[in-house]
Chains A and B, each alone.
Chain A
Amino acid sequence: MPTAEQISPATVCDGDRSATTRRIVWLLGALLAASMIVALATGSAGTSLWQALSDVLQGRELSLRDRVVLLDIRAPRVLMGCLVGAALAVSGAVLQGLFRNPLADPGIVGVSAGASLGAVGAIVLGGALVVWTVPVSAFLGAWITTILLYRVATRRGRTSVATMLLAGIALTAFAMALTGILVYVADDTQLRDFTFWTMGSLAGSTWSKIYVAGPIIAIPLLLTPFLAKGLNGLTLGEAAAGHIGIRVQRLKACAVLIVAAATGAAVAVSGGIGFVGIVVPHLLRLASGPDHRYLLINSALLGAALLVMADLICRVIIAPAELPIGIVTAVIGAPFFLWILLRQRGIVDL
C-alpha cells in the first residue's frame, strides 16, 4: 500500500479548492501580522509598544531603554522567529513533497542533526571566527544528510516510509555521535553555549545574526514557488512526473538544496526546534488540500506565526526566566506526530 493521508474534510463539490485556499493565504497573513504585533508589545521589561508609538507620533524622543527593548531586543527576536518558523515549515513541506510522504520532517529524518553537526563543527573547530562559517557549515551538514537520506530511502523512484524513518534514526544517531565527540574537545564557554543552543532558542537573536541568516533563509524560501508545480506532479511518482514534462532530477536537486539551506540556517541560529515542519504542513493539508502552489506559501506564513507565538509563550510563561522554545514545540508537536502515525497505521504498510 502507498502512503496515504487519510482525511475526510467536507467534500468539495466541484473539486477546485483554489478560491478557498487563496482566502486562507490572506487569513494567515493577518494571523502572522497580529502575532508579530502582540509579540512586539509583550515582554518582561514592561515597555509598552503603544506608549512608544504614541510618543513617536507626537514627536517625542523615545527613552534609550525603550528604544533598546523594542528595537534591539524584541524586534530582531520576532523577526528571527518569523524566519526560522517559515524556514522549518517550508523545509518540512518541501521534504514531504520530495519523499511523497507526510511524515518527512527535517528534525525527524536527520536533516537537522546533520545541520547541528555542521554548526558545532564550525564552532568547536574554530571556524566561528567569521560569522558566515556557522550557517554555511550547517547548510553543508544538512545538504549531505539529505542526499544520503534520499539515496538510502528511495529506490527506483519510490520511497519506503519505514526505510526513510529508520534511515533518519541512523543518520541522527551518527550525526549526534560525531557532535558528541566534538563537544568532548570543546572548552567551557563553547560547551555552555552549545547546551542552550541544542535545546533550541531564539534568545540570542540580534540584528547581526539576522543579516547573516536572513538571506540564507529568505532566498531559498523565495525560490520555493518555482518548485510548486513540480512537487504536485511528483505525487504521481517520479516516472509519471517525467511524462507530464517535469524535469525530475533538476527538481529533486533544487528541493534538496532549498531544504538544506533553509534548515541549515535555521538550525545555525536557533538550534533544535522540532516538529514545526510536520505540524504546519499537515494542518494546512487538512484545511485546504495538498496543492503546493498554496501549501508552500501558507506553510511559510503559518510556520512564522506559530513560532512567534511559541516564542512569546517561552518568554512570558516563567518570566523573568525563559523556557527554550524547542521544549514548547516538542511538547505540542510530538503527540501530534504520534496522532498522524496512528491515523496512518491502518493504511500504510510500514
Chain B
Amino acid sequence: MAEKILPPEELGRVDYSPPKKSWMDPKVEFRKGTFNYGAVPSSTSYLDLPFSRKWQPTDDDWQLPDNWKEIILNGLKDRLKKYRSLKVFMDICVRCGACADKCHFYIGSGDPKNMPVLRAELLRSVYRNDFTTAGKLLGKLAGGRKLTKEIIKEWFYYFYQCTECRRCSVFCPYGIDTAEITMMGRELLNLLGLDIDWITTPAANCFRTGNHLGIQPHGFKDSVEFAVDDLEEITGIRVEAPINKKGAEVLFIVPSADYFGDPHYFGFLGYLALLHEIGLDYTFSTFASEGGNFGLFHSAEMMKRLNAKMYMEAKRLGVKWILGGECGHMWRVIHQYMDTVNGPADFLEVPVSPITGTRFEHAASTKMIHIAEFTADLIKHGKLNLDKSRNDQWRVTFHDSCNPARAMGLLEEPRFILNSVCNHFYEMPENTIREQTFCCGSGAGLGTDENFEMRMRGGLPRANAVKYVQEQHDVNMLCCICAIDKATLPPLMDYWVPGIQVGALHELVGNALVMKGEKERVTDMRSNPLPGKEVTVDA
C-alpha cells in the first residue's frame, strides 16, 4: 500500500447526499489515493502516441497543445460518425437515475459524478453545447457546457474512475452503456496526450515483448520451466510445456500474470497438469505471451494493435485453433472485437476437442475458446478423474468477473467446474453475482498503488458480498477467472474482509485432478499441506 488510507470503518461511512454546487461546475481536486499517474514519455513515444510529454495530473498546467479544443471537438465528431452507440447514448438518456446506485464507485464514494448517468453527462453536456441545436441556442439552459480546460481535468478524473464494468448498462431501460462512453472519453483525452501510465506502459511492453510485464522470450521460458519443476514437486510428474512449437494442434494463450503473478500462478500449474493429463498437443508462444489487452482501456486502435499478435502467431505456428486462459478483459476483446478487427481467421479450423470430439460451434468464426468451456466439456464427458476432497481446505465462493459475465455470458461453465472439483461452494447474494456482479474496483487499468483509496471504495460492494458468505458459510476462498481480479482482490480482501484467499478456477481443478502415475499428493498447488496430510512433528 503506497498511500495512507483511512481504516475500513471510516472509509465505509459514505455520505450519499449531493453537494451544494451544481455538477456543471467542473472543478476537481486531485486528491492522493484517488487518481492515476500520467504516462511516462518513453512509453507514449514507443507507441507513437501524440503529444508525448512528462506530465502529472497534479500539475497546474497540463501543457495541452494550442488547438486542444479543436482536437477534442473534431475527435468527438469523428466518433459520433463512427459509433451509432455513442450517438444514440448521447441523445436518449432520460436521467431517470435507475443506473445511479448501480455503480460500485458511486456506492463506495458517494461522489455524484460517479453515478453512471452523471459520468455520461460530463461528456453529454459538451455534446449538447456543440452538436445540438437546442444546446447551441440555449446553452446552459439546455444542459450544455462550454468546453474548458477544467472540463478536460474533470473528464480525466472521472473517466479514470470508471472500470468499464457495464453493470449500469444492465439496469438502464435503454441499455445505455456508460462503459462505452468512458471509452470514448478516454480516447478523446488520449488525443491530447493525457494517458495514464498503468495502461500505457503495459501496452508498450506488450507491443514490444508480447506481454504486459515486458518479459523477454528467455524469461518466458524460464517461468514456464520453473512451473514445470514446481508441478513435478507437487505431483511427481514432469509435464511437457512446449513453446513456439510449429505444427501443434492448439495455441494456448494466457494472461502474463498467470505465469508471473501470485495467486495466478497456482492456476497456471493447474493448466499444465490438465493439459498434460489429457495429452493435448499444444504450444505456448513467447510472441503472443499475453492474453490480456490493456489497449482496450486506451483506445479501439490500441486494442487492435495489441490483439493482432494472436492471429498472426496462430498463423505462423500453423495451429488449428486457439485456447484462451482465465482472464476477464482478454475475453471481452476476444469475444466482442477480435474477429471483427483482426479476422477473418480463415486459416484456422472450428475448434474441436480432440479428447471428447465436441465441436465448439459457438466459436466457429473466431476459432478461440475459453478454457472454462474446454474443461467443462471434459468433465461432462467424464474424461477427468477428480478427487473433490483435495479441495476440502477451501470453502469457496465465485466472483463473476465483469467481462465474462456481461460481455459473454460465461456463467454456468465455471460453476459446473467448481461443483465438480470441490465440496463446498457457496454463492454470494444474487444482486452481486452473474450479470449483476460487482467489479473488483480496479479493472480497466485502474489497479495502481497511487489509486488505492478509490480502489478500496470501488471494491466495497464486492468485498461486502464476500463478507456476507464469510459470515454465513465460513467461506475462505474467493475463486475467479480474471487476471486483474487475482491481482487486485487480495489487497481488497485484506482491507475489507481479512481471512479470504483468492484463487484461480484451474488451481482448484489442478488440486482435484488425479493424474495417471502421480505420486501421493501431500500438498495442493500452493505447496500447502492437503487436509489430513499435515506433517505432525513428534515431540
Q: Do A and B come from one complex?
A: no
> B residues touching A (Cβ–Cβ < 8 Å)?
none
> A residues touching B (Cβ–Cβ < 8 Å)?
none
